[in-house]
Amino acid sequence: MRISTNTIYQAGISKIGSLQAEQSRLQQQISSGKRILTPSDDPLAASRALEVSHAQSVNAMYASNRSIANTNLTGLDISLGSITELLQTTQVTLVGAAGTLSTEQKNTVAIQLTAQLETLIGLANTQDSAGNYMYAGYQNRTKPFTATATGATYNGDSNQQLLQVEGQRQLVVNAPGDSVFQAGGNDVFSAFSDIITILNNPASTPAAVQAGVATAISSIKTATNTVAAVWSSVGTRLNELDALNDVGSSRDLQYTEALSDLQDLDYAQALSDLTQKQTILEAAQKSFVTITGLSLFDFIR
C-alpha cells in the first residue's frame, strides 16, 4: 500500500502529541496527588466524594458544636460545684445555730448568712465566656436574680437551650435558674431571707429562732439535693459529649480514608506509568526522525 508523505508526518505527530498529552495528564495527577482531576474522569467517584466531604464537614460542624456545649456545661459544672459547697457551709452554720443563742450570737449568724446569701445570688448570676447568664433560660442577657427584702426575684424563663451535637442528638446546654434555685416551691433565697429576718429581730423568742433554724436547715437540704441533681445531670451530659467526641473523631477518620480511596492517586503506579510513557515517547520521537529522514531525493546526484 502506498502511503502519502503527509500521512507519515501526520501519523508521527499525532502519536507524539497524544503521548505528550498523556504525560501532561500524569504530571497533573502527580502534582495534585489526585486521581480524579475533573468529574468526568470518574463521575460516580466524583459525586461520591462530594457526599463524603459533605458528611465530613457536617461531622466537623457537630464537633465544633460539641466543643461549645462542652464549654457551657463545664462552666455550669464548676458553678454548680461552688453552689453546692456554699449550701453545705450554710448547713454547717445553721446546725451550729441550733441551740439557744445570745443576741450577739444571733447577730453573728445573721451576718454570716447574709454574706452567704449575697455570694449565692452572685453565683446564680454567673456569666459564661460570651457574657451570657448561665441560669437565665432564653433571657440570657438579663441578670436572672435580683435581691429583694424577701430573697430574690427571678427575671429569666424556664426554657432549655438546645444544641445540635450530633445528627440525631440535641443536648441541653443551660440550666434555667427557676429549676435550680426555686424548684418545687422551695425557694432557697427565701429560706435564707426568712431565717435572717428571724435572727435579726430582737423580739424573736428562742423557740421561734429554733423553729426558724429547723425550717431553714430542711429547706437548704432540699435545695442542696436539687442542685446536686442538676449537677449530676450536667456531669452525665459531659460524659455523653466525651462519648460523642470519640464517635465523631472515628467517623472523621473513616471519611478521610474514604475520600482518599475515592480521589487519591496511586503514586507508585503513576510514577511507573510516567517512566513507561517517557520511554515510549522517546522511541516514537527517534523513529519519527529516522523515518522522515529517509528520502529518495538524497540519493539522486
Partner 1 sequence: MGTSILNIGKSALAAAQVGISVTGHNIANASTPGYSRQEIVQRAAEAQDYGFGFLGQGTQVSQVKRVFNEFTVKQLNSAQTSSSATNAYAAQMRQIDNMLADSAAGLSPALQAFFSSVQGLSSNPGDAATRQSVISKAQSLVNRFQSLGSRLDELRQGVNSELTNSTRLVTTYASQIAQLNDSISKTIAANPNSLPNDLMDQRDLLVSEMNKLVKTEVYTQDDGGYNVFVGNGVPLVVGGKSYGLTTVCSTTDTSRLEVAYVGNTTEPLGDNSLPGGVIGGLLQFRSGSLDSIQNQLGQIATVFAQTFNTQHQLGFDPAGVAGGAFFNVPSPKIYGDVANSGGATLSVSISSATAITSSDYRVKYDGTNYNITRISDGSVQSFASLPQTVDGLTINGTMSSGDSFLVQPTRNGATLLSLAITDTSKIAASDATGGNGNNRNALLLIALQNTGTLNNSTTSYESAFGQLVSSVGIKTNELRVIGAAEEAMVAQTTATQQSESGVNLDEEATNLLRYQQAYQAAGKVMQIADTLFNTLLALGH
* Contact present, 45 and 230 (Cβ < 8 Å): no
Nearest CB to partner 1, comparing residues 42 and 264:
42
Residue 62 corresponds to which cell in the numbers above? 457537630
**Rg, Å, the chain Cα set:** 39
Q: Please, what is the minimum distance in Å from the beta carbon of residue 189 to partner 1?
A: 22
CA atoms within 13 A on the CB side of 44: 1
Residue 75 corresponds to which cell in the numbers above? 462552666
Q: Is 270 in the site for partner 1 (CB under 8 A)?
A: no
Nearest CB to partner 1, comparing residues 157 and 264:
157
Q: What is the dihedral of CA 252, 258, 263, 269, to 10 degrees?
A: 120
Nearest CB to partner 1, comparing residues 14 and 272:
14
Q: Please, what is the minimum distance in Å from the beta carbon of residue 24 to partner 1?
A: 15
Between 103-124 and 188-200, two packed helices, what is the crossing angle to 10 degrees? Answer: 160
Q: Report the alpha-carbon distance of residue 148 to residue 170 in Å, rounded.
A: 36
Nearest CB to partner 1, comparing residues 130 and 268:
130
Q: Which stretch binds partner 1 (CB under 8 A): 32-40, 105-113, 194-202, 274-282?
A: 32-40
Residue 241 corresponds to which cell in the numbers above? 459529649
Q: Is 38 in the site for partner 1 (CB under 8 A)?
A: yes
Q: Please, what is the minimum distance in Å from the beta carbon of residue 237 to partner 1?
A: 15
Nearest CB to partner 1, comparing residues 5 and 102:
5
Q: Read off φ and ψ for residue 50, nearest 5 degrees.
A: -60, -45
Q: Which residue among 59, 65, 93, 224 contacts partner 1 (CB under 8 A)?
A: 65
Q: Report the alpha-carbon distance of residue 41 to residue 37 in Å, rounded.
A: 7
Q: Is 31 in the site for partner 1 (CB under 8 A)?
A: no
Residues 126-185 that bind partner 1 (CB under 8 A): 130, 132, 136-142, 157, 159, 161-164, 167, 170, 173-174
Q: Is 43 in the site for partner 1 (CB under 8 A)?
A: yes
Please identify which residue in the block is written with the cell numbers 443536648.
171
Nearest CB to partner 1, comparing residues 57 and 150:
57
Q: Which residue among 2, 149, 202, 301 contacts partner 1 (CB under 8 A)?
A: 2
3-class secondary-structure state, position 130? coil
3-class secondary-structure state, position 151? strand
Q: Which helix (H) or strand (E) holds 163?
A: strand 162-166
Q: Please, what is the minimum distance in Å from the beta carbon of residue 222 to partner 1?
A: 28
Q: Is 250 in the site for partner 1 (CB under 8 A)?
A: no
Measured distance between the N- and C-terminal CA atoms of the chain, rounded to whole angstroms? 28
Q: Which helix (H) or strand (E) holds 171?
A: strand 169-172
Q: Which residues bind partner 1 (CB under 8 A)?
A: 1-7, 10-11, 14, 37-44, 46-47, 49-51, 53-54, 57-58, 61, 64-65, 68-69, 130, 132, 136-142, 157, 159, 161-164, 167, 170, 173-174, 295-297, 300
